[in-house]
Amino acid sequence: MTMVGKIPPVTADPATSTPAKLAPHPSAATKKAREIAGRVLPPMIGLAVVLGIWQLACSGPNAMLPGPAKVVHDTWPLIVDPFFDHGGVDKGLFWHLFASLKRVAVGFSLSAVAGVFLGVLIGQSTMAYRALDPIFQVLRTVPPLAWLPISLAAFRQADPSAIFVIFITSVWPIILNTAVGVRNIPQDYRNVAAVLRLSPLEFFFKIVIPATVPYIFTGLKIGIGLSWLAIVAAEMLIGGVGIGFFIWDAWNSSLMSEIILALIYVGLVGFMLDRMITFIGQKFSS
């Protein structure tokens, strides 16, 4: 009977064997490029789809609105030269946006200061919160333009009236969110403040503000959006230089392409204002 022995394993000669190739790791630049592409490409693709649908929908002979190609063709002088100033209301879009932003800056700053102050006072008193919260809930639902006749009757001038409309429209979410934040301050924080015998001013800056920053900036984000909505609507009626007046004047002149261009700028500026408040809020929270 023939015995078959085990076949010894074949070992490769280290001197002659070829090492297995390792998959190359992506460099930091490649990772960064992929990250940027992941953020930029989806919105670019979405924008291209929207523009394509818009162009197809408005390319027919009976289209009521201009397509993107016609909008760019009709408003090209406004796009390439937004800084011209021929006197009066004949100005580039930059100056109209700048005038609107100045009114928003004043009105929103007043509403931010008043809203945080009143929110802190109301949040610390349960009775005041229960008494005033229903009133604030009713007033915050009043549309911006509904306040305009009252402001015109009270101030008799366009700029103060527009600033009042911005203030009265944007102050309510700031008050309500700040009050909720103050009411949600942990009791442990209040106990520490009592043990340390903090003064009301120290309690406000060392306890209230740090604990309520997320709530305050939620109200500020809502408020800045309402401010921008309010000024565009108010300027359509009060006249003068401003993006709202520009839109209304273009409507009276049947310049639909200019209206669409102005709306695009309004949306972009509103987006940047929202991102600005978010950025500041993140810095305060960190």
What span, in angstroms and rounded, lies between the C-alpha atoms of 283 and 277?
10
Residues with Cβ within 8 Å of 73's Cβ and at least 6 positions away in sequence, in order, are 257
What pLDDT does residue 121 have? Answer: 87
Pair 269, 104: CB distance under 8 Å: no
User: Given this model, what pLDDT does residue 248 score?
Assistant: 92
Structure-token pair, residue 89? 């209301």
Instruction: Give the pLDDT confidence score for residue 1 in this predicted structure.
Output: 44
Given a contact cutoff of 8 angstroms between Cβ atoms, the answer to whether 198 and 206 are in contact is yes
**Phi, psi for residue 78 in degrees, rounded to 5:** -70, -35
| pLDDT reported for residue 2 | 47
Q: Which amino acid is at 206?
A: K
pLDDT of 9: 53
Integer Cα distance of 171 and 262 in angstroms: 26
Measured between alpha carbons, how far is 273 from 248 in angstroms, rounded to an integer? Answer: 23
SS3 category, 231 = helix
User: Taking the chain (286 residues) in consecutive chunks of 10 residues, what is each chunk's mean pLDDT?
Assistant: 50 51 64 79 87 86 86 92 86 92 94 92 85 88 88 87 92 92 85 81 82 91 92 84 91 92 94 92 81
Measured between its terminal Cα atoms, the distance across the chain in Å is: 84
Q: Residue 233: what pLDDT?
A: 85
DSSP at 88: T
The confidence score (pLDDT) of residue 227 equals 93
Q: What's domain 87-285's superfamily in CATH?
A: MetI-like (1.10.3720.10)
Buried b (16+ CB within 10 A) or exposed e, 133-151: eeebeeebeeebeebbeeb
pLDDT of residue 11: 53
Instruction: Give the list of residues 6+ apart from residue 240 with CB closer than 8 angstroms, or none.
Output: 89, 99, 158, 159
In the chain, where the domains are located:
87-285
DSSP string for 124-150: T-HHHHHHHHHHHHHHTTS-HHHHHHH
Q: Are 196 and 230 contacting, i.e. CB atoms less than 8 angstroms apart?
A: no
For residue 100, what pLDDT is reported?
Answer: 93
Structure tokens given for 280? 């500041």
Q: What is the DSSP letter of 204?
A: I
pLDDT for the residue 196: 82
